[in-house]
Amino acid sequence: KKDHLYFKYCSCGIVEAEVVLGMDRPFQRIRLSDRAELKCCFQNWDKGFHWVKSKKPSERVEEVATSELVTATNRMPIKNNCSILTFKSVQLNDTGMYLCRLNVSFIHTHGTYMQVYVPMEKTINLSESTKNAILMTEGILLFLCVVGPSFLFLSKKKHENKRVMKKEKMEEENIYQGLDLDDCCTAYDHIERPQGYGHYQDVGTTVKEGEEIQLEKP
């Protein structure tokens, strides 16, 4: 989509053109030694342009020098003028803000800031089979961490229930161990009365005057 930003270019007090700037890509991050392309477009300008660069947006710009590694290709269709700045292999010092400056004017395109970065090197080079084995081991350990505590808790609970049931059973056996039901039923049959005493008698009718009252001991 075009950025509708218009500039009137005047020469000798006469309006000659109305320049329309295209929307540039604001930021690109390129890995060191990779290929990069920057693009700028505009309309209604036929007096030429050139690429300029600044290390920072607020710094003074300087013209980009082309070489075998850095080339500029201009495309001029019917309506739009575009230029592509190509880096075959970017270097760290290529980092900066790139803009197109229209000749004989102070007009710049919006520009693109290109950042060149150094990729992090792998400290440990692992094969795919080793990575898969590590992932599988992590999965097994995670499963054990989740299931292990639950299994131990259930096992401990089951053992505790068995121990309680065994203890209750032993207590019941101890209660009935010294109790003989046959002895209990025949205990009263073996009670012997002392000799010399008969059956219980009516004291009021059998005791004579002057005799002592003797009660039968049970």
| Residues pairing with 71 in the sheet | 86
Give the pTM: 0.51
- The pLDDT of residue 89: 95
- Mean pLDDT (the chain) is 76
CA distances to 5, 198, 202, 214 from 195, in Å: 141, 8, 19, 14
The pLDDT tens digits for 9-58 are: 454 444 455 778 888 899 999 999 999 999 998 888 777 788 999 987 67
Q: pLDDT exceeding 70 applies to what percent of the chain? A: 68
**Residue (of 31, 8, 30) closest to 21 by Cα position:** 8
- The pLDDT of residue 145: 86
- The pLDDT of residue 2: 46
